[in-house]
Structure 1
Amino acid sequence: MQNYLIRNISVVNEGRTTVQDVLISNNRIEKIASNITASGNYTEINGEGKHLLPGVIDDQVHFREPGLTEKATIYTEARAAVAGGTTSFMEMPNTKPAALTQELLEDKYVIGKQHSLANYSFFMGVSNDNVEEVLKTNSKKDSVCGVKIFMGSSTGNMLVDNYLTLEKIFSGTELLIATHCEDEKIIRANMEQFQREKGDQLTAADHPLIRNVEACFESSWTAVQFAKKHDARLHILHISTAKELQLFSNMMPLADKRITAEVCVHHLHFTADDYAQYGNLIKCNPAIKAPENKTALWQGLLDDRLDIIATDHAPHTWAEKQQPYLQAPSGVPLVQHSLLLMLEYARQGAISIEKVVEKMSHAPAICFNIKERGFLREGYFADCVIVDLQGNTSVNKQNIYYKCGWSPFDGHTFPAAITHTFVSGHLAYNNGKFDESVKGKRLAFNS
């Protein structure tokens, strides 16, 4: 393993930015100090004028493997993640077959070990009839990130709408419970009404009216009630409405919260007004909604009612997205550009770079009790990213690394560049070039 000494770089960590040297040795951060004198063999990197951030930890991605590999693979999407400064990911179970048994779950870890350039963890999936399999995951609290419940439409047989099942999961699971919250009955009723009125003339602009605010709120409220009843550890994914914010608190430190929430970059960036330009390309679940929701989500993020920024990276092929609204699948590929997008908002003054690091690196590590990652600390794994805030990144077909080959940011230029990404001390990405000789590691958790 090669060692590195990064000189005179602005270290962004735990609310402060200070110019330091950083020594990376044997997978870990050995020392952070001014004017480090190092012995032995190491590669020196001049960090003057650049910033060093902890690697992004994305707690919600869909990398599609196994079974949906025409859209993406763990190899392709992890590679794209690393190019974008994401060093660790937690991947969702709605693959084909879905990760609904311990054996199928471990199959995904095997793929991750063999092919992922980033560090990885995989959620155990929940269906209406696999409670006993889910509860077996209690024995893996130190090596599995959590269990995932789709309390709304999903692929395959992963919609959980049986209250007895929910009671058993919330009362019996010792791991974090991550939920996708949309009320299926409300969505179906809305869809029937819109189809009566518009027939096959529905477009992506109808999506936030079908999968509306009430569908999100009712389901999130239900999840919160189950969590409070059983004192379960609940994490609600991709909050998309102003109304849901009343369910969350900023009255205690994140480490003490039993109920936490995530917001995704596309809900912070796009609004329903953007369907006119992007159409099905930004069709996703939960839907991107009216502008007042985006405004409220930003407020909730900055005042800590929303704890984590993630992507819900969910690629589909270009051809699939060109179908009519009812046939086009929901999901947007985002993991390569999430950090760049938030750095652009920092450049605009909407959020500080320290707050970006808090929400994309520190908070996921705290929320999921990830062991020795998420911070730039001596002794921690060296998951870190060098960014050039004076540089720029123009997105085009040649530098989009997703297997699907497209991005809603195609043609956009971000006012920052990611130059180096270290994964557990390995320089996996360096100015447009990958070193895939060392794979990422399975995330470990403090149970």
Structure 2
Amino acid sequence: MLTIRNATLADGREVDVRIDTSAGRIAGVGSTLTHSGESIDAAGKLLLPGMIDTHVHFRQPGFPHKETWETGSKSAAAGGVTTVVDQPNTDPPTVDGEGFDRKAELAEESYVDYGINGGVTEDWDPDELFDRPLLALGEVFLADSTGDMGIEEDLFREAVERATDEYRVVTVHAEDADLFDEEATERPGDDYEAWSAYRTAEAEAAAVERAVEIGEEADANVHIAHTSTPEGVDAAKDGDATCEVTPHHIFLSREDYDELGTFGRMNPPLRSEDRREAMFERLADGTIDMVATDHAPHTREEKDAGIWDAPSGVPGVETALPLLLEEARKDNLSYERVRDITAANPADVFGLTRKGKVEQGLMADLVLVDPDDAREIRGEDLHSKCGWTPFEGMQGVFPELTMVRGNVVYDAGEYDEVTDGEFGGPVGENVRE
């Protein structure tokens, strides 16, 4: 047994938390627990459920020079993320049994728990995919012609119906390529705002509306990935869909292109400052369901190109929770809201019934932080293989300790081996219904 003593929860309660390390579960939460075995004094510290990042690209198989399961999961643990969900656009893509098995084998190197999503292309094999322990379907690229996994509406409808039959959430990348502004492509490669002008806000809202409509017809659980506009969020919430926002869409805007250059290119793109502020308001007031990072690292050399040649994507798995905790430290968010958008809500939406809260009987996926210990974010201090961050120079409150299934995997900058020789594991029947 391990007891975390005198910890403050997100709701302000000061409690002791007893952990059954052999079972990886929280054995008790209260103010009068009997202490036995090892203990950690957490006086003055905040104890949170580990973040569940439902949208990462750890790049394996296919692109280990950008990230690996080992480096990506170390970065996650250092940022207080205890569960990640990897998306299917790897090489080979996770669209059939062979692709899933290959990724699952590589994911065994993970320091945190993980789920694997299945993708949809013309060549996908739903029978093989749903025969595997698939967490969800997607990120499904609805009408996004700029990627090699974009699909048309008929195939999207088929995928939604099949996922509904299998009781799986469908995560949707919603941008209607027919509404992209082709005139913007005539602008020069050093006109960084051209990327935002090209991938219009209208393209997102239209695709969200269509995805939600198809989801409602199929009575499906549709989840909209990386919403970047208030119009997209409102379209999701007007229908029966959940949605996520990335840290870069609530902390960065088109005004940051002068500093970021092509390191600020992602899909969907950065939006106006007014839209960024509106997105943060929707996050704070409970409209947006969760934060997910869309952690999509590339090397500096790859990003150092013109706006039409640089790859899309930025790293973010290590800095998401620290950035949100800094907002809570400044009273722009409550700690309860941070807990909900990073842990409780993702667990609820994706059926991870034994994760997401500090409660007796649930998995001991926990993060301990000093809520007043803010520091500058620097890419050289982070653990992603790419070695840079779009949030350079901003303030974050980083974890002191991260625990996965009752095992300390990150402690004050060091990674600890757990007692049974394993690190994180697949999200399976032990953590979901």
The normalised TM-score by structure 1 is: 0.90
What root-mean-square deviation, in Å, do the aligned CA atoms of Structure 1 and Structure 2 show? 1.9
Q: How does 1:32-431 map to 2 (within 5 A)?
A: 32-39=29-36, 42-113=37-108, 115-130=109-124, 133-140=125-132, 143-153=134-144, 157-161=148-152, 163-173=153-163, 174=166, 175-187=168-180, 190-191=181-182, 193-196=183-186, 198=187, 200-249=188-237, 258-414=240-396, 416-431=397-412
Post-superposition CA distance 1:324-348 (Å, at most 9, x none)? 1111111110110100100111122
Mark the runs of 5 or more structure 1 residues left unpaired by the alignment.
Answer: 251-256
Seen in structure 2, the aligned counterparts of structure 1 residues 152 and 164 have a Cα distance that, compared at 3 Å, is: closer
Supply the AA of the counterpart residue of 1:24.
Answer: I
Deviations 1:57-108 (A, max 9, x none): 0000111001111110111011000000000000100011111112211221
Letter in 1 for 2:330: Q
SS in 1 for 2:12: strand
Measured at CA, do residues 354 and 51 of structure 1 come closer, stay the same or move farther in structure 2, by a change above 3 Å? Answer: same
Aligned to 2:8: 10
CA distance in 1, matches of 2:282, 2:379: 34
Question: For residues 98 and 378 of structure 2, what CA distance do their matches in structure 1 show?
Answer: 39
Kept in 1: contact 2:50–2:402 (CA 8 A): yes
Quote the Cα distance in structure 2 between the aligned partners of 1:379 and 1:155. Answer: 45
204 and 171 in structure 1: CA distance in 2 versus 1, 3 angstrom threshold? same
Once residues 237 and 37 of structure 1 are traced to their aligned partners in structure 2, the CA distance between those partners, rounded to angstroms, is 44
* TM-score in terms of structure 2 length: 0.93
Aligned partner of 1:254 in structure 2 is none
Mapped partners of 2:409, 2:143: distance in 1 = 37
- The amino acid across from 2:155 in the alignment is T
Q: Which residue of structure 2 aligns with residue 23 of structure 1?
A: 18
- Superposition deviation, residue 351 in structure 1: 1.0
Structure-2 change in CA distance of 1:411 and 1:301 (3 Å):
closer
- In the TM superposition, residue 290 of structure 1 has moved relative to its aligned partner by 0.6
CA distance in 1, matches of 2:332, 2:374: 19
Runs of 5+ unmatched residues, structure 2: none
SS at match of 1:260: strand
Identity of aligned residues (%): 31
Change (3 A) 1:156 1:216: closer
Q: 1:258, 1:176 → 2: CA distance?
A: 12
Q: Give the conservation status (yes or no) of the 8 Å contact 2:144–2:174.
A: no
Q: Do the aligned residues in 1 keep the contact of 2:140 with 2:172 (CA within 8 Å)?
A: yes
Task: Mark the CA change 1:154 to 1:20 in structure 2 (over 3 Å): closer, same or farther.
Answer: farther
1:358 shift after superposition: 0.5
Return the alpha-carbon distance in structure 1 between the equivalents of residues 130 and 303 of structure 2. Answer: 38
* Cα distance in 2 between the residues matched to 1:309 and 1:82: 16
Q: Deviations over 1:236-272 (max 9, x none)?
A: 001111212332338xxxxxx9511111111110111
* Post-superposition CA distance 1:305-334 (Å, at most 9, x none): 311111101100011111111111111101
The offset of 1:154, in angstroms, is 6.9
SS at match of 1:148: strand
Q: Per the alignment, do residues 312 and 289 of structure 1 end up closer, same or farther by CA in structure 2, a change over 3 Å counting?
A: same
Distance 1:397 1:235 in 2: 31
Contact between 2:209 and 2:236, CA under 8 Å: does it hold in 1? no
Letter in structure 1 aligned against 2:26:
I
SS of the aligned residue for 1:418 comes to coil
Separation in structure 2 between the aligned mates of residue 337 and residue 345 of structure 1, nearest angstrom = 12
